[in-house]
Amino acid sequence: MAENPVTSDFWKTLDGNSPRIIAHRGASGHRPEHSPEAFALAFAQGADAVEPDVLPSRDGVLIVRHDIDLAPTTDIAWRREFASRARRVDDKPQWWIGDFDAAELDTLRCVQHNPLRSREYDGQSAVLRLSNLLEMARAAKCVVDVELKDTDYFHSLGFDPVALFESELRAADALGVDTPVWLECFDHAVLRKLHARCGNHCFALVESMPDANALRELASWARGIAPPKNLLWDATGRAMRPVADVHAAGLELHAWTFRDDGDCTPFATPRAELEAAFALGVDALFCDFPDSAIAARAGFSGGRG
């Protein structure tokens, strides 16, 4: 883990520590997202946490994937043995994760889906189970910030997402507030049940800012909220009030997603965008290029700590 100096007289985060850098789907700017190599690189670069998305296989195993359709991020479209398993959606073939057992998913290989990024690592690594990643992170002494994706899809397959997660975390000895495993979800009802059952720190993903009453309610059980970065400032880059309001409720604010090759409007460069978030007191940043964010944090701190 990179040095994360305590500088309470400098940082405006809730606890006065420097903001955490969360490797979004691993170091996904450098390697295919969610691949073992993406996570291993994030550990090596010094990320404070890694963020996997999780969906279920047909037999109820938690798999590290963002999308129900496996075609964009795996080699399944080129696997003859699975050709007949494709669904037609909008006149295009899709292979849905819940149509496959975990053992079948284990045979797939990760590929790059972003046309702006290198494909040289395509096909080099297998799809991860959450249990695999928890073992990797334990060895690396890194926090895992797990996003439970699409709870309706869990239910459509006949699974209780809360029960599946509790079982998985219990098997990994990763239950409770003192473990380096955080949970996040857009479905706050499910997330609250996860908190009650598992006890881990929970972060409520949001697409718009909750009002003061909603923040107070969230503060009764969640550790923080995670909004998109565009809610932090207006079109001119002028700071809005979300960070102050969230901190006033006693919650952390984790912002998503910062990318070296993404849209950094209204800022001139991705580095300037990162520095604007640091200046506001954002507690954690989801980043595709954790090395760039860590370098920006070190530069922003002016060598303090």
Domain CATH code at residue 154: 3.20.20.190
Rounded Cα distance, 217 and 220, in Å: 5
Give me the pLDDT at residue 303, please: 42
Buried b (16+ CB within 10 A) or exposed e, 108-124: bbbbbbbeebeeebbee
Say if 184 falls within a structural domain: yes
Question: Letter for the amino acid at 262?
Answer: G
CA 208 to chain centre: 18
Rounded Cα distance, 218 and 223, in Å: 8
DSSP3 helix / strand / coil % (the chain, rounded to 5): 35, 20, 45
Say if 5 falls within a structural domain: no
Say if 234 falls within a structural domain: yes
Please give the residue range of the domain that contains residue 60: 20-68+127-300
Say if 116 falls within a structural domain: no
Burial class for 9, CB neighbours closer than 10 Å (0-12, 13-18, 19+)? exposed
Q: Angle, nearest 10°, between helix axes 290-300 and 270-280? A: 60
What is the tens place of the pLDDT at every residue in 119-151? 999 999 999 999 999 999 999 999 999 999 999
Say if 259 falls within a structural domain: yes
Rounded Cα distance, 260 and 24, in Å: 13
Rounded Cα distance, 97 and 68, in Å: 5
- Collect all residues with Cβ–Cβ distance below 8 Å to 273 and sequence separation of at least 6: 229, 258, 264, 267
Other CB atoms closer than 10 Å to residue 227's CB: what's the count?
22
Say if 92 falls within a structural domain: no
Say if 103 falls within a structural domain: no
Give me the pLDDT at residue 207, please: 97
Say if 154 falls within a structural domain: yes
Give me the pLDDT at residue 169, please: 97
What is the tens place of the pLDDT at every residue in 180-195? 999 999 999 999 999 9
CA 20 to chain centre: 13
Q: Angle, nearest 10°, between helix axes 290-300 and 36-45? A: 20
Both structure tokens of 288:
């595709």
Q: Where are the alpha helices (DSSP H) in 177-269?
A: 188-198, 212-219, 242-248
3-state secondary structure of 96: strand
Strand partners, 185: 204
Regions in the chain scoring below 50 on pLDDT: 1-8, 302-305
Give Cα separations from 137 to 2, 21, 194 (angstroms): 14, 15, 21
pTM greater than the 0.85 cutoff: yes
Rounded Cα distance, 41 and 52, in Å: 14
**DSSP collapsed to 3 states, 76-87:** HHHCHHHHHHCE
Domain count, the chain: 1
Give me the pLDDT at residue 9, please: 66
Give Cα separations from 73 to 70, 234, 256, 281, 284 (angstroms): 6, 33, 20, 34, 26
Q: Residue written as tokens 């060598």? A: 303
Question: Letter for the amino acid at 299?
Answer: G
87-89 vs 92-94, strand pairing mode: antiparallel
